[in-house]
Amino acid sequence: MAEIILKDIEKFFGPAYVIRKLNLTIKHREFVVLLGPSGCGKTTTLRAIAGLEEIDRGEILIDGKQVQSLEAGDRDIAFVFQLFALYPHLTAYDNIAFPLRAMSESKDSIDKKVRAVARSLQIEHLLAKRPSSLAGGDMQRVAIGRALVRRPKAMLMDEPMGALDAKLREEMRTELKRLHLENEATTVYVTHDQVEAMSMADRIAIMNDGILQQVGTPDEVYHSPANLFVAQFVGSPVMNIAPVTIKSDGKSMQVSLYDDASAFEFPSEIAAQIAASPAGVGDLTLGIRPEGVLLSREARDGYVPSHVHLIEPLGAYDIVDLKFGVSILRARTKSGFASKAGEKVWARLDPAQTHLFNTKSGDSLHIRLGDGAH
């Protein structure tokens, strides 16, 4: 059992206000990812949970008990760092056994536990080796084994795959997730990589400048980003955004990017929703993911003519850049849809996948037509 509650956490480094009134509940057995750019406060938050960093204000509760005055060693939490932090003179076996020996367990019991962890990590054949003769991925597996062997209530991981190459990271993602399912330890995982966050998390907590921006399932943060920061931090290629001018005549609504002449058509009911939204006062910014920009090779009702500006083939699909005045809209198409730059195409913005934000505050108006991608 391990439920972790952060209540009004604040942390200063000198004059720098690095965590600002953070509130977050991590449920028992949950896999929560703290996601954000460097300097956003995610690692400091993780270290505060572990007891490696003191907080200036607020409370940290683990299973209902205040822990902010407890030493790291008394919190029954395991920590895995980005850099493997193994003892170079010990074998993989002894590295994994180390925390158990510190608790003076019997030799038999240690051996059983080390081998069980090694089996689940598929590193049984490496137990006799020293870290220097292991590949990066295997070193990280040993480090994770060392964290797991104590069967801690919670696992905290700080960019554990940051030092691995792309292919290995893909494999480790699946392994870590399976491991989590088997171990059921509450896990808090820090990364700046949104792909990692999206693909592993039960819930993602997105931070920027020490402020929690949004907490939600991968689907929620992807399909209903709370603000422009989340909208552009999650998803690749990045969500298109552009300030818009909106005109409505009651029958339909026309949306132009910046002051571009061409206007995209939207159902008129959006105009009423904008008027009703508290964030709808003032300048608006439109956001749409590349898969929401629909293209046609022929003129069609509701489609606006444009030209292919650039094509980025990515194998499974292409990203096609279109230019509207000074704005670039990127569309996701089938591989080979556009054959060359300069080609004429017609574009439409799928209203169900269109987001509107208040330009000044960045907040989403939370207007959604239809059920979007869901």
Partner 1 sequence: MAHIKFHSVTKRFGNNTALDALSIDVADGEFFVLLGPTGAGKTTALRLIAGLDAPDSGSIEIGGEDVRDRTAAERDVALVFQYYSLYPRYTVRQNLEFPLRSRTRDFTQTEIDQRVDQASKTLRITHLMDRKTDRLSGGEMQRVSIGRAIVREPRAFLMDEPLSNLDAKLREALRSELKELQIRLKATFIFVTHDQVEAMSMGDKVAVLNKGKLVQVGTPWEIYNRPRDLFVAGFVGSPSMNMLVGSVSGSQCSLFDGAQKLLLPAKTAGASVTVGIRAEDVEVGPNGPVEAVIHDVENHGMEKIITLRVADTLLKATVSSKMQTIVDAKVKFGVDPQKAHFFDAASGMNLSA
Question: Which residues lie near partner 1 (CB under 8 A)?
Answer: 37, 165-167, 170, 173-174, 177-178, 181, 192-195, 198-200, 218-219, 222, 232-238, 289, 291, 309-310, 312-316, 319, 321, 328, 332, 335-336, 341, 373-374
Got the DSSP string for 46-76? HHHHHTSS--SEEEEEETTEE-TTS-GGGS-
- What distance, in Å, lies between the first and last C-alpha atoms of the chain? 33
Neighbours of 23 (CB within 10 A): 12
Cα 290–chain centre separation: 18
Min. distance of Cβ 33 from partner 1 in angstroms?
A: 11
Decide whether 36 or 51 has the Cβ nearer to partner 1. 36
Q: What are phi and psi of 4, to 5 degrees?
A: -110, 125
Backbone angles phi, psi at 83, to 5 degrees: -95, 140
CA-CA-CA-CA torsion sign (332, 335, 339, 345): negative
Q: Please, what is the minimum distance in Å from the beta carbon of residue 335 to partner 1?
A: 8
Closest approach of partner 1 to the CB of residue 43, in Å: 16
Nearer Cβ to partner 1 (166/261): 166
Query: Which of 113, 141 has the CB closer to partner 1?
Result: 141
Q: How far is residue 372 from each of residues 224, 289, 343, measured CA to CA in Å? A: 10, 12, 29
For partner 1, the closer of residues 129 and 173 by Cβ is 173
| CB 322, min distance to partner 1, A | 12
Per residue in 27-53, is it b (16+ CB within 10 Å) or e — as a string? eebbbbbbbbeeebbbbbbbbbbbbeb
Cβ 312 to partner 1, closest distance in Å?
4
Query: Could you tell me the smallest distance in angstroms from the CB atom of residue 316 to partner 1?
Result: 5
If the CB atoms of residues 94 and 170 are measured against partner 1, the closer one turns out to be 170
Rank residues 7 and 169 by Cβ distance to partner 1 and give the closer one.
Answer: 169
Is the bond into 243 cis (omega within 30 degrees of 0)?
Answer: no
